[in-house]
Chain A
Amino acid sequence: MTSTHSLANGTASDGPGPAVTVRPLPAVPGGWELAVRAFRCWLVMYRRTWRSSVWSSVLGPLFYLGAMGYGLGSLVDRNGTAALGGVPYVVFVAPAVLVVQAMNTAISNAMFPVFGGIHWNKIYVAARATMLRPADIYRGHLLFIALRIAMNSACFVVIMAAFGLIKSVWAVALLPASVLLGFAFAAPVAAWAVTLRTQTPMNYVVRFGSIPLMLFSGTFFPVSSLPGWLRPLAYATPLWHGVALCRALSTGTVDAGAAAIHVGYLVVMAAIGLWWGSRTYYRRLYV
């Protein structure tokens, strides 16, 4: 008697003995649906842990606004703000603080929890055993990071409005702009962080990456104050594009061409990050 195996009709019989029925494999949803499932998992975890970060998310930028915007601002305004386009220093600095907060949220959430997903609490490794593919794990996490950036930015935009620092109706676009900037950082940084074997490089990214970026990208003083040879470097950083974009939106000095360049730059950076991330996640989780 020959043995017959057939997955199509779901039965296998192999000589004497009862026939064994093999259930057909389930269909795997495509697109971003699985990513959304991963995102929901992050939401459940966040419900438990949000209290531990809410104060630094809200108070941190507020402190910088107070010290730099108002404290330092009183010294700058005394001297004249022609170099800033005639606005008080605090109006000049506030959108930069918004953007810097978005960048810091993006980078720290794209580094430490990603590394931790493999080495500390190992959630990535756990998720890998389910039907989620590495790309889904990656995108689900990015969705969560985008949510956190949106929440932090929304808080700060409200603060800006309350302090009278918003000068134009274009400011409604501040929230999506800062989320876009944050996403543009989170995508490539997460793609990189998942490949790490030790945690020391992450400290270097903060000390030699995000801090100098925060200080020199036209945030506290215009890029025109930088020495000539440094200026192109500043223009090339995504943070400068975000700062310039958000500053234009909140002060109402929007120029369609410049805005298009800024938005385009950030979109391209996000796209490259997404492409790179699905490759690094695949290699790290499946190989």
Chain B
Amino acid sequence: MSIEFIGIAATAPHSETEIAASQSDPVQPGYLEELARAHEDAGFDRVLVAHSSASPDGFTVADQVLSRTQRLGVLLAHRPGFVAPTYAARKFATLDAFHPGRVALHVITGGDDADQARDGDLTDKVTRYRRTDEFLDVLRLEWTSATPFDYAGEFYHVEGGLSGVRPPLGRIPVYFGGASADAIRVGGKHADVYAFWGEPLAGIQERIDQVRAAASPYGRDPRFSVSLRPIPAATETRAWERAAEILELTRERAAGARKFFNLDHSQQHGSQRLLEFAAQGDVHDERLWTPIAKVTGAAGNSTALVGSYEQVAQALLRYVGLGVSTLLIRGFTPLADARDYGTLVRLVREQADPAALVSAR
């Protein structure tokens, strides 16, 4: 199979460097449509639709993306705990029925207690991962069971669960993120694709090994995704100049962005790992650049690959060589970057070693 490229959907320009523009008008249907189409034209397979407890609803955003494009898929982020799992299963299955084969679920368990509390979840993180485990158990039953099923767990209790709308193959691909030991345990059991933020190659290798070890007792062999923020340019020199400009703008606007998103990632293992790598050095593996993570507190996917198009493509391919088959890339000016990334998508696909992809399976 080919390498999967995932970009980003957004209802307004609100990257680290754009944040000022979106505060007064957070839902711009025209922008969302243009961004989705740019990804489709650039050869992306999917776009990520993110989730927070203050932001627009992802199901609605995903539906708009799918309605306004022809073949682009979505990776819809969902936090267990706010929608009954049977109903969440029907939500995903219904979206998939309207847009067959184009919907994937990204399970995020939530790393910021305050953001969880905004939507009424006052549990701690350990509890949340136990809940995520049950949520995914029930979700799969609702997707697959042709007869009414019962489920009695710590968090969920269902009698006679049964859905008339089910994914044609009994499942929608489940992506999963999380860096803690609890996350790896639950993700190993459930993930079709395990997603990492952009760590150095050695860090990704370590995490792939951990997830494979957690998955093997369940007879599972997940695929892997890495999220990165490429900063490519015609020459390497020009790319590093761009990186410096982006860092400057991010410094100016970081406080505003934090206020707008109001998220605290300091308790997340994934963020802590990125910050540790950033403390060790600004650049890893020649062009994995970490200062944006440092400035923003590693609030999500925040490490960059800086270089010429060819160099960034080669850097992405080194992750593929570790067994990664999905690349989630988004820029600091998402719309312009989505168009620009078409070159990266093409270069990576042209140069990917089919043998490496087979071993990644």
A interacts with B: no
B residues at A contact (CB < 8 Å): none
